[in-house]
Amino acid sequence: MSVDITLPADRSLLILDDDTTFRTRLHRALAARGFEAESAASVQEALGMVRKHPPAFAVLDLRLEDGSGLQVVEELHAKRPEARVVMLTGYGNIATAVAAVKAGAVDYLSKPADAEEVVQALLANGEARPALPDNPMSADRVRWEHIQRVFEMCDHNVSETARRLNMHRRTLQRILAKRAPR
């Protein structure tokens, strides 16, 4: 199931994500691939870990309740400039991708990213271009996921979500009642 990879001597890895289920699954998958993974659920926890022992690799969520993963990228690169960082986010856009790369990230992946994509991004050399995805999300799926994220950000308040999305409340209710598109 996992790809045969060659890891450097220092395989220390920090995973920062506030989604417990995703963080736990990613931790297990990357540990099974040979990384010495540690996990953090908040920016402050991750900053403490970076200050004690800066890892060689990091997989960081962009948006967390107590701040941004970009803070951790900056701290990590101040302590260990050669560290390889991959940013993960459910809120992908060009501005945040540029900010992540300027801060020192080597790649920027949209959630949900699987362990193989993360490993490839962590270990890729700068000259290799990433392969196009075999099964990119449809436009309907991207729209549905965006609506779901905003709905969660609004604590499942339909009226507030509709206001933020500039959409009628009943239209939003119909979309939320449907299954996710493929």
User: What homologous superfamily does CATH list for 12-123?
Assistant: Response regulator (3.40.50.2300)
| pLDDT single digits (tens) 117-163 | 888 888 877 555 556 566 666 778 778 778 887 888 888 899 999 99
For the whole prediction, is pTM greater than 0.75?
no
Q: Which of 62, 60, 115 is nearest to 84 (CA)?
A: 60
Q: What residues contact 127, with CB distance under 8 A and at least 6 apart? A: none
| pLDDT surpasses 90 at 109 | no
Overall fold of domain 139-177: Arc Repressor Mutant, subunit A (1.10.10)
Report the relative pairing of strands 12-16 and 107-110 from DSSP bridges.
unpaired
Query: How much of the chain, in percent, has pLDDT values that exceed 90?
Result: 30
The residue type found at 158 is: V
H or E segment to which residue 86 belongs: strand 84-89
Q: Where are the domains of the chain?
A: 12-123, 139-177
Q: Is 4 exposed, middle or buried (0-12, 13-18, 19+ CB in 10 A)?
A: exposed
